Amino acid sequence: MPKMAIFAACVIFTLAQPDAYAGDAFYVNPDSSAAQWVRTHPDDPRAAKIQASIADVSAARWLTGSSQTTDKLSETVNHYVSAADKIHKIPILVAYNLPNRDCSGGASAGGAANAADYRVWIDDFINGIGGKRAVIILEPDALADIDCLSPAKRGDRLGLFNYAVSGFKQRAPQADVYLDAGNAGWKSTGAMAGYLHAAGVKGARGFALNVSNFYTLDQSRAYGDAINAKLSSEHGYTKSMAVDISRNGNGARPGDWCNPPGRKIGAPVQAVTENVLALWVKLPGNSDGASSSATDCHGGPAAGRFSPDLAIHLIEGR
């Protein structure tokens, strides 16, 4: 058998799993920023369109260090996953709190103060999941932008990824964890495969692509397939992938990642194959950031804040 055929057979055998998701299996967050805006603006002429096109769609809930209010994070997470489990749906959650997040200077800068604080935080997160099913997107951008850190801090970050993956495997075994791997226009496939392996992706369900970005599903899958080729040839395994399709309806606008105009919401959440899961991770309408001297964010509010104008532009593709 030719080498390429052997490799293809190996990939299919390694990735094939019997538990592919149904497209309607995922939980709709009743308190997403879009849903909250609709509830507080019932007479706004945009409300019905935002409700139908965004608020009623399954999308991820992001949890950060500021996600704890009066409750412990574990209680917050447990309440959410239990609500989903009660109606036989699977929640999608994003863990976003590593130290030096967004290189400590970007629009989403922040995160835990240090490694010890992060371990406490991710332990609370994992304990909140417990035995419930969930899809976890682990730390968007943290591997793709790791080169901004000193060698010592890179080692710390990779260690925290491994700590989280091990914790989920031991104490939340029904959670499918995907380590974020940037997007098709960021890191080389060789570099990303190396960082994923060092971060412990072998012990996770797979890796996530295109979070908060706009590349098409085909572009993301091609990038993910190339990462898997590297993982296979260099480490002897391949992994499933989850792709954020929430805003990729019109594809990416090269060089413009911050609320770029002319983008459009993507297809509904779906299991494309047994090994490719298409999700809404970034909620359409939540801003990528506000304009600054360094970045033109096209009139958006601060990162993470919901804007009905951005939402309508994405719904209408303008």
Catalytic annotation, residues: 102, 141, 288
Cα(297)–Cα(294) distance, integer angstroms? 10
Cα(288)–Cα(261) distance, integer angstroms? 12
Cα(237)–Cα(234) distance, integer angstroms? 8
Cα(119)–Cα(101) distance, integer angstroms? 15
Ramachandran angles phi, psi of 278, nearest 5°: -100, 120
